[in-house]
């Protein structure tokens, strides 16, 4: 990820892989983090906060009324700013780091202080009516797994993967697509071809069938055709 990038454009999402092209033409790939891994990260953070609360109670209870006041202030600051401090520092709370995920902006840059504050203040709305039910429903109905806080702040939660150089698609006899493809469609096709060898045969065929209207082919023939189109696109660049 490049912290200085402020402009660019998102590329059509393929499966759970989210792509963003920065102005220099470099594609950044991110794997979106779903509800399960995020729930595990939240549970770890909740346990850590619980330990901190317990220590505060044990220490400040010795100070009487002043201790109680300080305790309440401490609870407030920890509850609302515990995630903000860690996200601003390195993009992830201890729970998120343990699960290998982090928070970034929609354009692939590190999360900003204002965005972190917004996404965490809206945890109250996401929690309603209980146990983050609203946040879960919101995540399930949008492709980027965003809860309300993420939608308002313009943030994503992704896996902390190293960026790798793009791989060439499997070798195939280059063939021109039967219809004109937009630049976004071409990039999506290249993404499929690059990832194809890492997917099962069934999954490749399932994804290829999504483009049956463009190829007119099904099953294994569609996969081979898409590889041929991808090679044609690369040679034409």
pLDDT in tens, 170-201: 666 777 877 777 777 777 777 777 776 677 77
**pLDDT band, residue 126 (cuts 50/70/90):** very high
Q: Please give the full DSSP string across the chain, using - where no structure is assigned.
A: --TT----EEEEEETTEEEEE-TTSPEEEEEBP-HHHHHHHHHHHHHHHHHHHHHHHHHHGGGHHHHHHHHHHHHHHHHHHHHHHHHHHHS--HHHHHHTEEEEETTSSBPPHHHHHHHHHTHHHHHTTTTTHHHHHHHHTSTT---HHHHHHTEEEEE-PPP-PPPPPPP------SS---HHHHHHHHHHHHHGGGS-HHHHHHHHGGGHHHH---HHHHHHHHHHHHHHHHHH-
Mean predicted confidence (pLDDT) in 207-211: 73
pLDDT in tens, 80-99: 899 999 999 999 999 999 99
pLDDT in tens, 14-25: 557 777 766 545
């Amino acid at each position: 990820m490049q912290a200085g990038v402020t402009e660019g454009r998102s590329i059509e999402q393929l499966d759970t892989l989210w792509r963003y092209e920065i102005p220099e033409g470099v594609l950044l790939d991110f794997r979106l983090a779903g509800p399960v891994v995020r729930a595990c990260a939240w549970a770890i953070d909740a346990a850590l906060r619980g330990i901190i609360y317990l220590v505060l109670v044990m220490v400040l209870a010795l100070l009487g009324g002043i201790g109680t006041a300080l305790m309440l202030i401490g609870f407030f600051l920890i509850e609302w700013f515990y995630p903000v401090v860690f996200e601003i520092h390195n993009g992830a709370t201890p729970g998120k780091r343990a699960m290998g995920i982090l928070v970034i902006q929609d354009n692939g840059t590190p999360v900003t202080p204002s965005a972190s504050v917004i996404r965490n203040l809206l945890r109250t709305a996401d929690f309603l009516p209980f146990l983050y039910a609203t946040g879960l429903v919101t995540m399930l109905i949008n492709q980027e797994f965003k809860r309300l806080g993420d939608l308002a702040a313009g943030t994503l939660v992704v896996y902390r993967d190293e960026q790798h150089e793009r791989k060439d698609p499997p070798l195939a006899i280059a063939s021109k697509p039967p219809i004109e493809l937009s630049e976004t469609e071409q990039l999506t096709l290249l993404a499929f071809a690059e990832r194809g060898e890492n997917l099962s045969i069934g999954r490749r065929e399932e994804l290829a069938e999504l483009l049956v209207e463009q190829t007119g082919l099904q099953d294994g023939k569609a996969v081979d055709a898409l590889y041929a189109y991808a090679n044609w696109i690369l040679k034409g660049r």
